[in-house]
Structure 1
Amino acid sequence: MKKLLTLTTGLVAIVLAGMIGVPAQAYEAGPVTGGGTIVGKVVFNDVVPTRKIIPNKDVEVCGGPREEPLIEVGTDKGVQNAVVYLVEVAKGKAWPAQGKTPELTNHKCRFEPEVQVIRAGPLDVVNDDPMLHNTHGYYGKRTAFNMALPNQGQRIPTELTRPGTVRIDCDAHGWMEGWIYVVDNPYYAITGADGKFTITDVPPGTYNLVAIQSLTGPLQQSVTVAAGKPTNLTVELKKQ
């Protein structure tokens, strides 16, 4: 069955709590019996707005004036780099195998990756440019970290210990912006260039699913997952 999700004006308290970094109940990882799959696509059908970027310094690295879209939309209306995740999942599949520490890299006056999802824990902030960046992360209006990186190749470790949305900017280059979504369970996905996503091994039941992108903000919807079956969704984002 295919469901169309549209933006709701009154998001439930748990979604808002997740955005500002409220502590969550500990997640219990273990075997999943009869898990289902959420398969979907995130779309944006409105006109894509843009912003004018006019670097006022370090243009040899940062580049010149340009227009950039506020949301990345393909020809088929699929949204790239939207994050989709389930909230208030008490137990389920194991976390992905832990590789190297997640990184946020200042590269040519951009954050790479621009959007990422991480488990609460360590993060390395890296400067790949030959000049000062001051990388500043916020949970809402509260500072999560604030660090000067004056040297190329510099790496500073930090930790994001609370679930929620962390907006990143650079105090030295005001147009730079990135997003880190800190999650408390492994049921999440980032959409590809076609806007599609898949969340696997979901224990049967009903959940709150959130889709979020920086222009549109969060969208939440109840979704029911049946044992051993796919649940197909088309998630339509709208401007706030």
Structure 2
Amino acid sequence: MKAAQTPASLGLLVCLGLMHSTCWALVQQIKVLSDTGQPVAGAAVSVFVKGVKPTASPGTTADMAQRDKNFAPKLRIVQTGTSVNFPNFDTVRHHVYSFSSIKTFEIRLYAGTPAAPIVFDKPGTATLGCNIHDRMLGYIHVVDTPYFGVSDANGQVTVDIPAGEHQLRVWLPTMGEANPGLEQPFKTATEAVVIRVKP
């Protein structure tokens, strides 16, 4: 009698047949360096993989908080379609807004967390401000991929991605919101992938 094939076994067969492309995932380290070789912190790093759904699953959320009269974090990277909450942890009220082309919105004077999150449904960058505290400045960078992160003090980001050849993109606030970022093709490897930018 021929054994029945379960969904799991079928998936394994498909994976074996496509081994050269996107079946095998690995932990890839990415390093962002300046043109002089110094680590660049606070860079939005994203990896674009062919065939991967560009928009976030329904219900995906993220927070852009306000603490000590600052946006925390200053830069938040999210996948297209993510609902972003703006919790206020300060003892003063804030008036958060963005006039950016990908998302124009305004959350008038409030404390706590607004009832309705803001859905970022277009890729690009939204610059955030506060009508009460002019020095407050933040960014939400929206990407059509689930593989992303923000570089740490060592300029490093670690992402779990399928093995293969992909496109790497890096964006910095100094580039301006109209600039999509610097792109570089790469192939997954055991060593860190390095991309150089001009801060």
TM-score (norm 1): 0.60
Q: What residue is the counterpart of 1:202 in the other structure?
A: 162
- Provide, for residues 97-138 of structure 1, a one-character-per-residue CA deviation record: whole Å limited to 9, x for no partner: 999831111211100121112222211112222333110124
Q: Matches of 2:53 and 2:119 in 1, distance apart? A: 24
Which amino acid in the other structure matches residue 30 of structure 2? G
Contact 2:32 2:155 survives alignment (8 Å): yes
Matched, 1:43 2:33: yes
* Rg larger for: 2
The alpha-carbon deviation at position 232 of structure 1 amounts to 3.2
- Provide, for residues 68-92 of structure 1, a one-character-per-residue CA deviation record: whole Å limited to 9, x for no partner: xxxxxxxx832222111134x3424
Cα gap change, 1:238/1:197 in structure 2, threshold over 3 Å: closer, same or farther? Answer: same
Q: In the comparison of the two structures, how many residue pairs are matched?
A: 174
Q: What residue is the counterpart of 1:221 in the other structure?
A: 183
Q: What residue is the counterpart of 2:6 in the other structure?
A: none
Match of 2:73 among 89, 113, 116: 113
Cα gap change, 1:100/1:216 in structure 2, threshold over 3 Å: closer, same or farther? Answer: closer
Match of 1:77 among 38, 41, 50: 38
Contact 2:23 2:162 survives alignment (8 Å): no
Q: Matches of 1:173 and 1:118 in 2, distance apart? A: 25
Identity %: 22
The within-5 A match list for 1:1-240 is: 32-35=22-25, 38-44=28-34, 77-87=38-48, 89-92=49-52, 101-119=61-79, 120-140=81-101, 143-150=103-110, 152-156=111-115, 157-205=117-165, 207-217=166-176, 219-225=181-187, 229-230=189-190, 232-239=192-199
The alpha-carbon deviation at position 45 of structure 1 amounts to 5.6
- The runs of 5 or more residues in structure 1 that have no matched partner are 1-30, 47-75
Cα gap change, 1:101/1:187 in structure 2, threshold over 3 Å: closer, same or farther? Answer: closer
- Provide, for residues 116-168 of structure 1, a one-character-per-residue CA deviation record: whole Å limited to 9, x for no partner: 1222221111222233311012434x652211133x32424221122221111
Give the secondary-structure state (helix, strand or coil) at the position aligned to 1:33: coil
- Provide, for residues 173-231 of structure 1, a one-character-per-residue CA deviation record: whole Å limited to 9, x for no partner: 111111111222112121112111123323422x33211111245542332325xx336
TM-score (norm 2): 0.71
Q: Which has the higher strand share?
A: 1
Contact 1:84 1:211 survives alignment (8 Å): yes
Which amino acid in the other structure matches residue 201 of structure 1? I
- The runs of 5 or more residues in structure 2 that have no matched partner are 1-14, 16-21
Give the secondary-structure state (helix, strand or coil) at the position aligned to 2:61: coil
Q: Matches of 1:96 and 1:184 in 2, distance apart? A: 8
